[in-house]
Structure 1
Amino acid sequence: MRSRRNARKTGTEKAAQLLMVMGEQGAANVLKLLRNDEVQKIGAEMTYMGEMSTDEVNLVLRSFLDQCSTDDSISIEAGRYTKDVLIQALGSEAAESILEKITLGGNTRGLDSLKWMEPQLIAGIIENEHPQIQAIVVSYLGAELSGEVLTYLPENSVVELCIRMAEMEPIDPAALEELNSSLEKQVEGVVSKQSSEMGGAKNVANIFNTLEKSFEESIISKITESNNETAMRIQEEMFVFDDLKKIPDKDFQLVLREVATDVLVLALKGADKALEEKVLRNMSTRAAEIFTEDMEGLGPVKVTEVETAQKEILVATKQLADSDKIVLSVDSGAMIG
């Protein structure tokens, strides 16, 4: 049976009592989800609250559970909650990309269905499409799948395609209508009423980071011949193995923790001496000694094996950067007062 005293309490008073019962960590997690004005009101109530007896604690918990059992739903500001959760899980850049696709909703169903197809099949579908349509499709697929699709397209068309992606502006409804019309027999989709930013030099750079080095160098060379300014913008956005030297030592130590020692040994085969010194400098004395012995004991290896190991480290590094756990250079971590 509920107490009259509890029944007369305001919502703020009940919330303050519940948070006091939850303990410091639990209360803090709840307060993080409230508005500033709500935190202020509840915080003030908690400040002036006296000790609670065991009966009062039990009453608060029973009241809360009763309220939950009678409510058909729990009110949550879904948009803000979803954004916060994605940012915490994926980092700001990756989260924004996911949220952008979510906001397009069903308007990308046709493009999304391509992601379930083999890259060779996707290349076959778009091979005879207008280059701008190809650019929109490849830009949407994500770096890894896009890179695989490019390997199945004629090299001369890949050059123009990459230039178009790097220079792509936000897509207007007319372009999306053309896309859906072009793909209507292969995929289902509807026309978006809003613009979507899929391309750009950074997107092309991310794709290039997944390609075999020889193929990547061949494409970027031809793009340079065709449009030097665009090629330079793409290269500025690319993160290559030698760029690991630019990472601040404190952040670089986090990278080393994410990478297996045997992968690191293989990746540094034939690498710049300054990078090897950076690795050793950020290890303990004993770990550096063992690592040096492993390096010296490594015999001849295939270039492709070295490139694969380097790519694995680059992927791990980019994931840390996208999650805002590290910065990729001293300049990128600079603060503005």
Structure 2
Amino acid sequence: MGMPVKIRDNYKSLSGAEKSAIIFLALGEERGSRLMEKLDEDEIRMVSRAMAGLGNVTSNLVESLLRTFTERFANVGSVVGSYDTTERMLARFLPNDRVAEIMGEIRGPAGRTMWEKMSNVNEGVLAAYLSGEYPQTAAVILSRMRSEHAAKVLPMLPPNLRLEVIERMIQIESVQREVLLDIESILHNEFMANYARTHGSDTHERMAEIFNRIDRETLGEIFGDLEPVMPESMQRIKQLMFTFEDLLRLDRVSLQAVIRRCDTGQLAIALKGAELQQRDHFLSVLSERARMILQDEIENMGPVRMRDVHDAQAEIVQIAKGMADAGSIVIPQTGDADAVVY
């Protein structure tokens, strides 16, 4: 006998995420998916979880929700939420030190993905946190981190827990996507926020975000001036930056997944101004038909400004970063030990 289907007909019982999920579903797959793309990764996960557990929603409830939504936002223009817009809004009514504290809590320690951030957490702090977690959870976290950092954390765990965690790490084959998303959500909402509050934010990560938005010529001058003076800091910032060139380190399947998410015209512009090695590498992972179509678009394209090329490449980088944060692809760590040679 199957489980009874959940019927949703009470507006007041809906959470914010559930209301958003209903609106996306009411818009239909095509329009709803286009709007959903505008959300950040954490918001997409929250709405997706709510959507999957909605059950049947009555037409009266949908109508009531949409009426409330349109009445509330009828006179509001488009809005974009990001670290920068959040920081600017906070600066309107909070002192600078408080803004820095809140943004530090949101960003957490340095890293391009949750697992890179965990690899930058002090090993003693991380060991203390994992000591209070289930052995299976600790095993998943340690197995996803950089091996050299996991090697520092393991000896600090209590002996009995350490043995059980190691056994589970050995037995881990694959972890369901839903489990990884749940663990990442807990780490983001609980551990990382508390860690940032007590240890402060990483200025290297902040500078990496800024440098990612600076044109290459100017960036080259900046690094040329600062590397002789601050070699360690500049190296750290370079490791945290993620550029179009870093996409060459993706494995074949991951790069194909990124390309599928890209607009063909956008990809053509990005490759039009790319170095020959980069262009050939992208084309090499495509099927013969897709490669011919893309090559034809690149060749028949007129002159393109380098600014447009850099913008297109930056958009593709953001797509890759979003997929990495969602666990769809894995971006190899920076450094000789983790480099991929083609």
TM-score exceeds 0.5: no
TM-score by length of 1: 0.44
